Chain A
Amino acid sequence: MIEAEGLTKFYGPIAAIKDVSFQVKKGEIVGFLGPNGAGKSTTIRILTCYMPPTSGTARVDGLDCMERSLEIRKKIGYLPENVPLYRDSTVRRFLRFAASAKGISGGKIEKEVRRVVGMCGLEKEVNRIISHLSKGYRQRVGLAQALISDPPVLVLDEPTIGLDPTQIIEIRHLVQELGHNRTILLSSHILPEVAQICGRVLIISKGEIVATDSPKNLTSQLQKTTRIMLEVSSPAIEIAPAIEKIRGVQRVEADAEGSGKFIIEADPSSDVRPDIARMVVEKGAGLLELRAVQLSLEEIFMQLVTREEIAEKAPSLEETSHVEVAE
């Protein structure tokens, strides 16, 4: 449904994105992830025909964004970053403008406006002036205008930024609901959100796609060590050196001095947990908890986007060990 091929965009001498290629299949919800300034919005703006790329081609539904711009724009519902709206207008008037701009004929406009207002829960706000609305409601108005004319593709640039947790959950539910019969590309720098909504994640850093896969696969691929959390009841007993001697254990770290909690990193090829358990019991330290910890998407993300930076920096940095382990 959405295809990007070697997209490059220069702002003056600075390349915002370099050779970005990816595909989004029909019906997929894809998360577009990256730190601020990584090129998310630039890529999205090219796909939505807001601006042309310096080189490369973008296609939506098989049509080239440069040549068939007007046709593509009809197929895309777009929520731009920071949700620009005509603030002096009422919600209804603005949505009516959006509907007529998207080519809905006179008699059907009111019906269409009512439909999107209902979907976004704006019934009570429909006659209010947009600048008087709270941020959460403005976000909904932004989403409502994107949904007008029921486009098969939705592109949402940071749809939950600046919202409170309840509102974030509302928007998330709405997006999931919408995803049943649409193709959605959603950008964010908030990871849990993407992990929950999206079937696939594209990670972009410094203008380049560094990874693309499902959140689950990303986690397992990048997890080069198994992390184990251990808690014992009597921290006075020295167990760390003994654990380190177990075959497969690479590193033992006390979570906090004297708390009895340890983080153990081990070779993923063999499970070291039975050995650790046996050892703790033998020493009589009192086993409270022993479990494998999944690397969170945050950590993977950090590894991916900081990899180059760390390589460039002096190797004495604390994170270095982390990255070396990861690679």
Chain B
Amino acid sequence: MKGFWPVYKKELYATFASPIFYAVAFIFLVVTGIFFYLILDYFNHLSFELAQNPMFARQVNVMEIALRSFFLNLSFILLFLAPLITMRLYAEERRSGTIELLFTYPISDSAAVAGKFAASATAYLLLLVGTMPGIITFALIASPAWKPIVAGYLGTFMIGCSFISLGLFTSSLTQNQIISAFAAFGMLLILWFIGETATLLGPGLGSVAEYLSVTRHFDAFAKGVLDSRDLIYYLLFVTLFLFLTHRQMNSYRWRG
């Protein structure tokens, strides 16, 4: 992994130097803030209603409903924003020709891929930290269980990392940032909704579709459950796309 740190630092700097990141952060934080408010509002109503109906209240976990929809909303917004963070990564290097520097400095290809991925993941982590004040305020007032919140954030981070790895891959395919972003949107949307087709596809293919869906693996996290199958799914997802990016850059080298 020779050259990981220089690439990581360079990319992190480039991310924070570009106005795109601030636009993304602004939209992300405003929209998640609105969602958070709406969910809290809904949570209030629900709690109030359930307080009057104690029999029903025992079957419903209010926390679960509120947090689950909060984290799912968060990752859905991310589906649109992650490609905007990643579209620059390789596309811009290819367009401006700086890829020639990257390829002729003593940096291994895998270090470059890993450095770029890690820098975007770090930027994304900062976005997630930005959503925490709301949750912390909520926790201070409502004293919820901490475990589902931690698991929820971990799940959201994992799903975000898989979006970033896919975005990195589409960025390596083209020298046009917009094409890279749209390709990532398209692929992510398919992976997001593929789970919904499960009922149409019947039991055999349906379970495959469900296993491939990024959202199905997210559910357990949002409920506060850490399932190794889900963790492995996201780790494999990231590994696969980092590997594909590496192969793609290798083939780009050969084609010249």
Interface residues, chain A, CB within 8 Å of chain B?
Answer: 9, 11, 42, 45, 48-52, 70-71, 73-74, 76, 78, 80, 82, 84-89, 93, 97-98, 100-103, 145
Contacts and interface: CB of A to CB of B under 8 A. Distances in A.
B199 interface: no
Given A11-B255, A45-B100, A88-B17, 20 more contacts: A42-B256, A45-B256, A73-B105, A73-B106, A80-B97, A84-B96, A84-B97, A84-B99, A84-B101, A86-B96, A88-B14, A93-B13, A97-B6, A97-B10, A100-B9, A101-B3, A101-B105, A102-B105, A102-B106, A103-B106
B107 A84 contact: no
Point out which of B3, B9, B10, B105 has the most chain A C-beta atoms below 10 A from its C-beta. Answer: B105
18 contacts: A42-B256, A49-B104, A50-B253, A50-B256, A51-B253, A51-B256, A73-B104, A73-B106, A80-B97, A88-B14, A89-B10, A93-B13, A97-B10, A98-B105, A100-B6, A101-B106, A102-B106, A103-B2
B123 to A, nearest CB: 16
Given A42-B256, A52-B253, A89-B14, A101 B6 contact: yes
A84 B253 CA distance: 17
B197 interface: no
Nearest to B17: A88
A217 B92 CA distance: 46
B44 interface: no
A98 B104 CA distance: 11
Interface in B1-26: 2-3, 5-7, 9-10, 13-14, 17-18
Contacts of A98: 101, 105
Contacts, number: 75
B10 A86 contact: yes
Interface in B229-256: 253-256
Given A70-B108, A78-B104, A11 B256 contact: yes
Nearest to A12: B255
Given A51-B254, A84-B97, A97-B6, A89 B106 contact: no
Q: Please name the 9 residue pairs, one residue from A and one from B, whose CB atoms are nearest each other, closest first.
A: A84-B97, A100-B6, A73-B106, A101-B105, A101-B6, A80-B100, A84-B98, A51-B256, A74-B106
Contacts of A11: 255-256
A295 B206 CA distance: 79
Point out which of A86, A89, A101, A145 has the most chain B C-beta atoms below 10 A from its C-beta. Answer: A101
A96 to B, nearest CB: 9
Contacts of A102: 105-106
Nearest to A142: B101
Given A50-B253, A97-B10, A80 B105 contact: no
Point out which of A11, A87, A100 has the most chain B C-beta atoms below 10 A from its C-beta. Answer: A100
A9 B253 CA distance: 12
Contacts of A85: 98, 101
Contact of B106 (A45, A70, A86, A93): A70
Contacts of A145: 101
Contacts of B9: 97, 100
B42 interface: no
A9 B256 contact: yes
Point out which of A11, A71, A78, A97 has the most chain B C-beta atoms below 10 A from its C-beta. Answer: A97
A89 B9 CA distance: 12
Nearest to B256: A51
Contacts of A9: 256
A84 B5 contact: no
Point out which of B107, B108, B254 has the most chain A C-beta atoms below 10 A from its C-beta. Answer: B107
Contacts of A87: 96
Contacts of A84: 96-101
Contacts of A103: 2, 106
A170 to B, nearest CB: 23
A50 B103 contact: yes
Contacts of B108: 70
Nearest to A148: B105
B103 A49 contact: yes
Contacts of A71: 106
A80 B256 contact: no
B97 A76 contact: no
B65 to A, nearest CB: 45
